[in-house]
Amino acid sequence: MITILLASHNEKKAREMRSLLPEGFMVLTAGEAGIEPPEETGETFAENALIKARVAARQSGLPSVADDSGLVVDALDGRPGVRSARFAADHGRPATDDENTRLVLELLASVPDERRRARFIAAVAFVSPEGDEAVVHGTVEGHIGHKSAGANGFGYDPIFVPEPGARTMAELTDDRKNQISHRGKAFRQLVALLTERYAPESKQNR
């Protein structure tokens, strides 16, 4: 059994990764490993993902994976971007998903539909205890709706409508979301990388 450390306390991300990995892999979260995430000081999603994966690999001695993702809105000049999780806090509000989504909707209140284009971007980094590194990316295009809808998601999912379609990410089933989401696309590339690297060992341990 190959143990992969996911440098996140988000159980939904862990569940998504577990659903994509083949038999022979086990995903351990940062919380389960007792690892606290470092400060995200990078200027890009890839830089932040690597910061977290490097710390996790160094502290745990395990192959480690970390993601950094966010919402990029054209009408907001690319914001929230790498500050997606802290967007409301940057404006003096509580750092919660609800406040983040509410702020985006407020800033876009007078923006017409044709200018509400946006995309989710994810960077997923892999770092081995030996120092090997890789970063993969995933993107999903869409637009920002006019109100929150759906409960099957987190972050900006309730206001992001992937294209083509009329439902928000938070209104999709887990299976459908994993098929089209930025993180799902990046994780699938990562799974291919992990399987290629560790498959011979995992087969021997089955």
Q: Which of 67, 68, 77, 98 is catalytic?
A: 68
- CA–CA gap between residue 88 and residue 154 (Å, rounded): 15
**What count of other Cβ atoms lies within 10 Å of the Cβ of residue 190?**
24
> Which residue, among 110, 108, 114, 100, has the nearest Cα to 157 in the 3D structure?
100
% helix, strand, coil for the chain, step of 5: 45, 25, 30
Q: How far is CA 46 from the centre of its chain?
A: 11
In eight-state DSSP terms, residue 36 is P
> Which residue, among 80, 173, 188, 185, has the nearest Cα to 140 in the 3D structure?
185
Contact of 47 with 62, CB cutoff 8 Å:
no
What length is written for the chain? Answer: 206
Residue type, 94: P
Helices 182-204 & 11-20, crossing angle to 10 degrees? 60
- CA–CA gap between residue 90 and residue 157 (Å, rounded): 20
Active site residue 68: yes
Catalytic positions are 68
